[in-house]
């Protein structure tokens, strides 16, 4: 009945995921490949968390 008031936990993670990808893009443009790879790895971990949330039975 009150499902409209429940927050979507994946929504916050998606926002964080895209922010990490954007930071990684700017790092790559600046030639900082080490930071780019670290940020990309963090974004990958966030993507895995999003996938786990979407695949888990509610």
* pLDDT at residue 1, as a whole number: 54
Two tokens at 38?
């670290």
Two tokens at 18?
């895209």
* pLDDT at residue 15, as a whole number: 96
Rounded CA separation 49/4 (Å): 23
Cβ(4)–Cβ(19) under 8 Å? no
pLDDT per position in the chain (58 positions), as tens?
566 777 888 899 999 999 999 999 999 999 999 999 999 999 999 999 999 998 876 5
The ranges assigned to domains in the chain are: 3-55
pTM for this predicted structure:
0.81
* pLDDT at residue 3, as a whole number: 67
How many other C-beta atoms are found inside a 10 Å radius of the C-beta of residue 22? 12
């Amino acid at each position: 009945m009150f499902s409209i008031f429940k927050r979507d936990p994946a929504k916050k993670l998606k926002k964080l995921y895209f922010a990490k990808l954007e930071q990684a893009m700017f790092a790559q443009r600046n030639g900082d490949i080490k930071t780019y790879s670290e940020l990309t790895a963090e974004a990958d971990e966030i993507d895995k968390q999003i996938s786990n949330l979407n695949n888990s039975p509610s």
